[in-house]
Amino acid sequence: MPEHLAKTPFGAGTPGQAKAPPRGLRDERQARPPSRSSGKPAAVPSSEGTGSALRVGGPPSPRAKKTKKPAAQYDRFIPNRSAMDIASSQFSIARADADAPLDGATAAYQEEIARACGVSINKRILTFREEAPTSDRDDLRQVYSRPALKSGAATAAKRRILNTPERVLDAPGLVDDYYLNLLDWSAGNMLAIGLDQSVYLWNASTGDVDSLCQLEGEAYVASVKWTSDGSYLAIGTSEGDVQVWDAESQSKVRTMAGHQARVGVMSWERHLLSSGCLDGSIWNHDVRVASHKVAELVAHSNEVCGLAWRSDGALLASGGNDNLLNIWDARSIVPKFSKTQHTAAVRALAWSPWKLDLLASGGGLHDRHVHFWNTTTTARLNSIDTGSQVTSIRWSVEYRELVTSHGLPHNHLALWSYPSLAKIVDIPAHDQRILHTAISPDGQTIATAASDESLKFWRIFETRSKAGKHSKAADGVAAAAAATSASMAAAAAAGPAAPSAGGLDISRPYSIR
């Protein structure tokens, strides 16, 4: 029997079995079978580990080998010994010993051991370098609007976007303050701008400039806002007053006092004027009644610098210097929800003109992000890191695009397509940060006012030439907007028709319910 045992390793003598090291490990297990097999060799294969049986029984009786072979193939733990290399056989031994299902730690440990034993020297773990394609398909609406977007982007590529301003005006005395809102363009094609203590109206149809008012004392203009029909202008002052002016007669209709600090931002909802104050409060004024203050919304702990009613008047978005974005239900004086994703003052707020519950908000210097929100589900849909302070956001009415204005370091306008958020173009616009933007009533031209005290007009969203019947009228307005004194007469002739058409045009997306 000892001779028999001794014979096994050498006796077999085939090249495959000459690999000594793994066998050495296995011999412990092999030690048993021969001792028993000495009694009745034929019974061994069925009762014991087959690998060893093969070799033990092999040389003495070739006939027995044949019968054992099938057993070798169906072994549960060691599928095929002869095919094994060092690593897998070693691993198999470990596995055969631990009959029970492996747990992860053991498996990992065993692989570590295998590696430590030098088994891994001839093994590599490889991975495909490229990342698997992602599946950003959660919002089905995005999927279905994608083809439309692509065609939009294609036309955008064809559309020439001039990176030179159509017109440049001086805006001397423009207060260089990020928290004020001093520019607005009315449906009647009047551009209002607050320059220090005065408010000027620039008639975009004729090019005429009027001084609307001059504040007294130390007060300066902190915000201007047109009603949606362009008939009244609200002016917020540094003293906390809110004045309402008639655009037609250029006279003050009323003053609504009460805020203790400057009113840096306002937003109209029909007869309701919301004003955001330095102290963080938002007041709703009903301009028709004597006791104008109908609600006070307190949720910001610092200056309110962004305020925007949704076009249907159901929701109000407010952004503050406390980095909060609040969404208010019109019927409630507690926020519907608050968002804290921004890490700097939230000044830029814009509701999408084509998708009611879509809101874009942009953060200040340390934030640089534009976030997109579904205000129905309160979900954040998307974000862009713009790389610089976001001072305002304007959506295009005609294209699925938006334009953002920025401060340092590039003081540029950026045009993005939505919802792909692909940047279409960067326009280096000003020498210093762009403070305010306004969109013309026909939706084609963006006005930008920057702290370099200039006011520039950019024709970014030029109407598609094949766009239907109203495009001509809109073009008329745009032409009028760029009118020189020479074409004054023509503009005046087009005047009555054009602004009304333009007014209609713009009032559609902003129409009330």
Helix axes 104-116, 86-97, angle to 10 degrees: 140
- Order the strands of the 293-298 sheet from edge to edge: 263-269, 272-277, 281-286, 293-298
Label residue 306 exposed, middle or buried (CB < 10 Å: 0-12, 13-18, 19+): buried
Q: Rounded to the nearest whole angstrom, what is the least distance from the CB of residue 6 to other proteins in the complex?
A: 23
Of 3, 10, 97, 129, the residue at the interface with other proteins (CB under 8 A) is 129
Q: Rounded to the nearest whole angstrom, what is the least distance from the CB of residue 223 to other proteins in the complex?
A: 40
Of 1, 20, 128, 340, the residue at the interface with other proteins (CB under 8 A) is 128
Which residue lies nearer to other proteins by CB, 120 or 432? 120
Q: Does 125 bind other proteins (CB under 8 A)?
A: yes
Cis (ω within 30 of 0) for the bond into 409?
A: yes
Of 10, 28, 39, 122, the residue at the interface with other proteins (CB under 8 A) is 122
Q: What is the 3-state secondary structure (H, E, C) of 406-465?
A: ECCCCCEEEEEECCCCCEEEEEECCCCCEEEEEECCCCCEEEEEECCCEEEEEECCCCCC
Q: Does 127 bind other proteins (CB under 8 A)?
A: yes
Q: Rounded to the nearest whole angstrom, what is the least distance from the CB of residue 146 to other proteins in the complex?
A: 13
Which residue lies nearer to other proteins by CB, 103 or 246? 103
Which residue lies nearer to other proteins by CB, 117 or 333? 117
Picking from 477, 427, 435, 472, the residue whose alpha carbon sits closest to that of residue 453 is 435
Q: Does 291 bind other proteins (CB under 8 A)?
A: no
CA distance linking residue 242 with residue 275, whole number of Å: 8
Q: Does 216 bind other proteins (CB under 8 A)?
A: no
> Interface mask (CB under 8 A) for other proteins, residues 79-118, using x and -?
xx-xxx--xx------------xxxxx-xx--x-------
Q: Does 62 bind other proteins (CB under 8 A)?
A: no
Taking CB under 8 A as the binding criterion, the range among 75-83, 158-166, 211-219, 504-512 that sits at the site for other proteins is 75-83
Tell me, by CB under 8 A, how many residues bind other proteins.
33
Q: Rounded to the nearest whole angstrom, what is the least distance from the CB of residue 80 to other proteins in the complex?
A: 6
Query: For the chain, what is the radius of gyration of the CA atoms?
Result: 39
Give 82's DSSP letter: G
Picking from 337, 313, 310, the residue whose alpha carbon sits closest to that of residue 326 is 337
Q: Rounded to the nearest whole angstrom, what is the least distance from the CB of residue 108 to other proteins in the complex?
A: 5
Q: Does 123 bind other proteins (CB under 8 A)?
A: yes
Taking CB under 8 A as the binding criterion, the range among 24-32, 74-82, 345-353, 476-484 that sits at the site for other proteins is 74-82
Taking CB under 8 A as the binding criterion, the range among 78-86, 348-356, 411-419, 437-445 that sits at the site for other proteins is 78-86
Which residue lies nearer to other proteins by CB, 50 or 463? 50
CA distance linking residue 92 with residue 328, whole number of Å: 65
Does residue 54 contact residue 62 with C-beta atoms inside 8 Å? no
Q: Does 137 bind other proteins (CB under 8 A)?
A: yes
Which residue lies nearer to other proteins by CB, 90 or 440? 90
Which residue lies nearer to other proteins by CB, 61 or 164? 61
What residues does 199 pair with on adjacent strands? 194, 213
CA distance linking residue 362 with residue 355, whole number of Å: 18
Q: Does 466 bind other proteins (CB under 8 A)?
A: no
Q: Does 218 bind other proteins (CB under 8 A)?
A: no
Which residue lies nearer to other proteins by CB, 120 or 500? 120
Q: Does 161 bind other proteins (CB under 8 A)?
A: no
Does residue 364 contact residue 386 with C-beta atoms inside 8 Å? no
CA distance linking residue 277 with residue 256, whole number of Å: 13
How many residues in total does the chain contain? Answer: 513
Q: Rounded to the nearest whole angstrom, what is the least distance from the CB of residue 149 to other proteins in the complex?
A: 18
CA distance linking residue 221 with residue 213, whole number of Å: 10
Which residue lies nearer to other proteins by CB, 26 or 285? 26
Which residue lies nearer to other proteins by CB, 17 or 445? 17
Picking from 434, 314, 293, 284, the residue whose alpha carbon sits closest to that of residue 376 is 314
Q: Does 63 bind other proteins (CB under 8 A)?
A: no
* Phi, then psi, of 13 in degrees rounded to 5: 65, 5
Q: Rounded to the nearest whole angstrom, what is the least distance from the CB of residue 390 to other proteins in the complex?
A: 24
* Site residues for other proteins per CB under 8 A: 14, 69, 79-80, 82-84, 87-88, 101-105, 107-108, 111, 121-135, 137
